[in-house]
């Protein structure tokens, strides 16, 4: 979700499909005053907060690589045991 228009749509969606918010991500916090209000109402923290003024969707495009990298780290990064590390930090 990115921007005021998409945020308003998500607010509407929460009324139609309760429980939808945990399946959504906020791309960034727009400088539009309504963006902060929408994010607060949804209880969402944005992936990025870069004070963008570039239009709807820009923050979503910028946040996708961060989300993809996070998912890959969680799913693919070896544990110390799996990597055979014997000297583990305290």
Active site amino acids: 56
Displacement of CA 60 from its chain's centroid (Å): 8
Is 2 within 8 Å of 26 (Cβ atoms)?
yes
Closest CA to 44 of 18, 23, 25, 66: 25
Closest CA to 55 of 26, 24, 37, 28: 28
Closest CA to 46 of 19, 83, 10: 10
């Amino acid at each position: 979700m990115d921007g005021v228009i998409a945020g308003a749509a998500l607010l509407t969606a929460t009324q139609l499909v309760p429980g939808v918010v945990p399946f959504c991500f906020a791309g960034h916090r727009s400088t539009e005053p309504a963006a902060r209000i929408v994010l607060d109402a949804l209880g969402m923290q944005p992936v990025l907060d870069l004070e963008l003024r570039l239009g709807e969707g820009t923050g979503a495009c910028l946040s996708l690589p961060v989300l993809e990298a996070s998912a890959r780290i969680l799913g693919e990064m070896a544990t110390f045991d799996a990597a055979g590390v014997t000297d583990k930090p305290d």
